[in-house]
Amino acid sequence: MGKASRDKRDIYYRKAKEEGWRARSAFKLLQIDEEFNIFEGVKRVVDLCAAPGSWSQPMAPIEGVIQVQGDITNARTAEVVIRHFDGCKADLVVCDGAPDVTGLHDMDEFVQSQLILAGLTVVTHVLKEGGKFIAKIFRGKDTSLLYCQLKLFFPVVTFAKPKSSRNSSIEAFAVCENYFPPEGFNPKDLHRLLEKVGSPWGGEDQDCSSGWLEGPNKVYIPFLACGDLNGYDSDRSYPLPKVADGTYQSLDPVQPPIAPPYKRALEMKKASSQGIREPEKHSLDS
């Protein structure tokens, strides 16, 4: 797909370049903020899985931002984050990470939910009481279970769908407010506590966990659409803006990839077009 073609087919991709954002996903966060005011009073933020392309490439530096490359399932990563905050905890944790989707919705939803729970491991170490956690989810048949697991730590949990998120996508976002872990909670017991949720042996004092998630105990999840309903439709194609000379010039991304996985393929294609042959490589045993 050419640059102009994508500019036409994806209005938020085009607007991101025009407004100076690195990625179209910035609009998702902005539209969530319009509805939930998540940035009010926020001074310290942790952005999990922030590198574009997930684990496939590093991220170019951003002024005023400290980058930590680590495993979000490891408590030591959380300790490094707190150390950079001079012992203070974060006001907000956001996580827009996602695995490479397979097209098998049940599998994708399960893997995504496990990624969120890995993010929750970091949250229990770095988020202050009263803080907020925003995470990407994939909606599916087990969404109620994830909702109840998050409710153990956040009294208010809402699933939101920003206008900039395509209607054809199962993507949504869990907006978790007012972090308040159970009394006497130890982060080391996180997974043991989560396993009780939605089971018949779950404690009766835990919201959502006193019975099954079906039948009379079925959980109904608050779901909210974010963004101006009269705004741009992410599934629609828009005409390119008219220019004086009649030739539309597509803008380059604000920050192109610095180590894309396809870099080697581009170099080989360029060399081939210029008639340059790569030197043959021989094994030491040949």
Q: 């094994």: which residue's tokens?
A: 283
And the tokens for 281? 């490589």
pLDDT at 171: 92
Looking at every residue in the chain, the average pLDDT score rounds to 81
- Strand-strand pairing, 156-162 and 223-226: parallel
Judged against a pLDDT cut of 90, whether residue 129 lies above it is answered with yes
Contacts of residue 282, defined as CB under 8 A and 6 or more positions apart, other chains included, come to none
pLDDT at 199: 53
* Residue that wins the pLDDT comparison between 263 and 116: 116
Local confidence band at 39 (pLDDT 50, 70, 90 cut-offs): very high
Residue 20 CB coordination number (10 Å): 8
Beta bridge partners of 223: 159
Domains identified in the chain, total number? 1
Local confidence band at 203 (pLDDT 50, 70, 90 cut-offs): very low
CA dist 222 → 35, 159, 160 (Å): 14, 6, 8
**Active-site residue, 136 included:** yes
Active-site residue, from 132, 136, 161, 163: 136
Helix 75-84 vs helix 105-126: crossing angle, to nearest 10: 50
Radius of gyration of the chain (CA): 22
Judged against a pLDDT cut of 90, whether residue 36 lies above it is answered with yes
Establish if 263 belongs to a structural domain: no
Establish if 281 belongs to a structural domain: no
Judged against a pLDDT cut of 90, whether residue 262 lies above it is answered with no
Residue 185 CB coordination number (10 Å): 14
The continuous run of DSSP H or E covering 129 comes out as strand 127-138
Give the domain range for residue 164. 3-226
pLDDT at 205: 42
One-letter amino acid at 146 equals L
Establish if 32 belongs to a structural domain: yes
Establish if 150 belongs to a structural domain: yes
Judged against a pLDDT cut of 50, whether residue 200 lies above it is answered with no
Residues 152-180: tens digit of each pLDDT: 999 999 999 999 998 888 899 999 999 99
**The domain that contains 12 carries what CATH number?**
3.40.50.150
Establish if 271 belongs to a structural domain: no
Establish if 282 belongs to a structural domain: no
Establish if 284 belongs to a structural domain: no
Quote the percentage of the chain above a pLDDT of 90.
24
pLDDT at 56: 46
pLDDT at 195: 82
Judged against a pLDDT cut of 50, whether residue 74 lies above it is answered with yes
Which letter does DSSP use for residue 137 in this model? E
Establish if 270 belongs to a structural domain: no
And the tokens for 101? 């989707």
pLDDT average, residue stretch 237-245: 79
Q: Poorest-confidence range of 52-56, 212-216, 222-226?
A: 52-56
One-letter amino acid at 90 equals A
